[in-house]
Amino acid sequence: MVPTVLVFAGLDPGGGAGLAADIAAIAALGAHALPVATALTVQDNNRVHEVRAVDAAFMLRQADALVDTCSIDAVKIGIPGSRENAAAIATLLRQLRAADPALPVVLDPVLASGHGDLLCRGNALEALAELVPLATVLVPNLPEARALGSVPCEHVFVTGGHGEGEIILNRWLRDGVEQRVWRLPRLPHTYHGSGCTLAAAIAARLALGDPMEQALERAQDYCHQTLAHAFWIAPGQRIPRRILHTY
C-alpha cells in the first residue's frame, strides 16, 4: 500500500499554500495525503484577507472517518484555525500514539502569513502550545523560532529563508543541540507556500520510512527545486512548482 499522511491544514483557494500545497508535495514524494480542513480562508498569492475556523467537532469527524479505515503513517499539521481545533487534534494524536508510539508528527508552527496576516482565531501561540509537545519535528522559520523560544520537541528544523545574505542556513537541532547545518543558495524571488511544501515533504519522507536526517535532506532538496521552478499566477509571490514533471 502507498504510505499515507494525515494532514490538518487550511484551504487556500489560490492553490499556493495549505491543503493544496500539502497534497501536491506529498504526492510528488511518493505518499498519499489524507487532507482534513481546519479552516477556510479568503486569500490570493500575496495576502490573507479572512480566516474562518472549521467547527472543531466537524473537523474531528473528517479525521475520524479516515483513521477508522486507513493506516496512518505520518501526520502533518499546518494552521489549526483555532485553539479548540488544536485541542481536538491533540486528543486525536494521543489516541494514534497509543496505538503507534513511533508515529511521526510534523508541525509547521504557522503564526502568520509571509505578509504578517494572522491565520488563527484567537492566540496562535496558545493554540500551538496544545500541539508542540506531541510533535516529532517542529519546522519553524526564524521569526517563528524566536516567538516560540525553547520548546519540548525532540527535533527542531529551523529554516533560514527570512535571514539575510546570499546563503540560506537551515539548522537541525535535536534536544536543543545542533546536529547539522545545510547551506543553500538564496533564490531571487518570494514564494507563497514554501513552508507548507517543506513540512509536507518531510512528513512524506518520514511516512516512507526515512530516518530523520535523510528525511530532512531529501525534503530540502525537493523544496529547493520547487522554488527554483516556481511560476506566476499573478503579480507578487510565486507558487512553488510542486509537480516537477508533467505528461
Q: How confident is the model at residue 23 (pLDDT cuts 50, 70, 90)?
A: very high
The pLDDT score that the predictor gives to residue 160 is 86
Residue 116 has pLDDT above 80, yes or no: no
pLDDT digits (tens, 9 = 90+) for 224-238: 999 999 999 999 999
Cell 540560506 belongs to which residue? 168
User: Judging by beta carbons within 10 Å of its beta carbon (0-12, 13-18, 19+), is residue 66 exposed, middle or buried?
Assistant: middle
Output phi, psi for 164, to 5 deg. Answer: -120, 165
* Better-scored residue on pLDDT, 48 or 98: 98
75 is written with which cell numbers? 501526520
Domains of the chain: 4-136+189-228 (3.40.1190.20)
The whole-number average pLDDT for the span 17-41 is 97
Q: 180 forms bridges with which residues in the sheet?
A: 172
In angstroms, the CA 170 to CA 201 distance is 15
Q: What is the pTM of this model?
A: 0.94
pLDDT digits (tens, 9 = 90+) for 187-210: 999 999 999 999 999 999 999 999
pLDDT digits (tens, 9 = 90+) for 120-166: 555 678 888 889 999 999 999 998 899 888 888 999 999 987 767 79
The pLDDT score that the predictor gives to residue 67 is 97
In angstroms, the CA 12 to CA 5 distance is 19
86 is written with which cell numbers? 488544536
Residue 246 has pLDDT above 80, yes or no: no
